[in-house]
Amino acid sequence: MLPSRLGRSGRISAPAGRRTATSVLLMGAVMLGSVLVGGTAASAASAGPASLERSTSVAAVTASSGGMQTAPSQSNLEAPSVQEQAAPPSCRSIEYRGNSGKISVQTNNAHRIQWGITMYDSQDSVGRWDVDTYLNGRKTTSGFHRTTTGPYIPHGSLDARQGQRFHVEAHLQSANGETHHSVTNECIVP
């Protein structure tokens, strides 16, 4: 049983109508060449943000939950939940989608993991990023801790061994005043 990674507040809420199909489509085009595998993000985005979050065919595997989430206002607080989860999926090629961004993970045959975080609205990526990566629960050196002044896609890579569990914990305080955080996104190195 794994606790849900809901960030510092432990809550998630999706702001209604926050993203337009156009902004989602534009950000879908900004893909990490070395981190993402091409897919059908544009076709999913053209149907609107709600279907983008439900899409399951962007990369080899797309998780229907996870990724980056917009933090709720204080009036929207709910009790944190604990999720029971089967074995995590493979890190071969997976995207974890949230309501404000996605976390993409790929692993090559030499067990080198490449990861990246893409916000659906590029202006949300401007601000203070605190990102840590973990193998088997231990923090790695592949994190990202800095303030960006323009749109940016935090990314990194690290060597791993087959069977290790990898996950990303991220917190972003956007220059526009919004807070975003990662939620459950663990995978197993193939």
pLDDT at 63: 60
pLDDT at 85: 59
pLDDT at 34: 30
CA quadruple 80, 114, 104, 24: dihedral, nearest 10? 130
List, in order, residues 6 or more apart from 5 with CB less than 8 Å away.
167, 169, 182, 183, 184, 185
Residue whose C-alpha is closest to residue 115's, from 56, 80, 160, 162? 160
Kindly report whether the global pTM for this prediction surpasses the value 0.85: no
pLDDT at 84: 55
- Mean pLDDT is lowest, of 25-29, 112-116, 142-146, for 25-29
Q: Calculate mean pLDDT across residues 87-104.
A: 96
pLDDT at 55: 36
More confident residue, 110 or 73: 110
Which CA distances in Å does 32 have to 37, 104, 145, 160?
Answer: 8, 9, 19, 21
Domains and CATH numbers, the chain: 2-6+18-68+87-188 (2.60.40)
Rounded CA separation 170/149 (Å): 18
Q: Compute the chain's Rg from CA coordinates.
A: 15
Rounded CA separation 164/161 (Å): 6
The percent of residues in the chain predicted with pLDDT above 90, rounded, is 53
Q: Which pLDDT band, with edges at 50, 70 and 90, does 97 fall under?
A: very high
Helix (H, G, I), strand (E, B) or coil at 13: coil
Cβ atoms of 106 and 89 closer than 8 Å: no
Q: Calculate mean pLDDT across residues 171-177.
A: 96
Cβ atoms of 170 and 7 closer than 8 Å: no
Cβ atoms of 89 and 184 closer than 8 Å: no
The pLDDT tens digits of the residues spanning 30-87 come to 333 333 333 333 333 333 333 333 333 334 466 656 788 887 644 333 433 444 558 8
Asked whether the predicted pLDDT for residue 4 surpasses 80, the reply is no
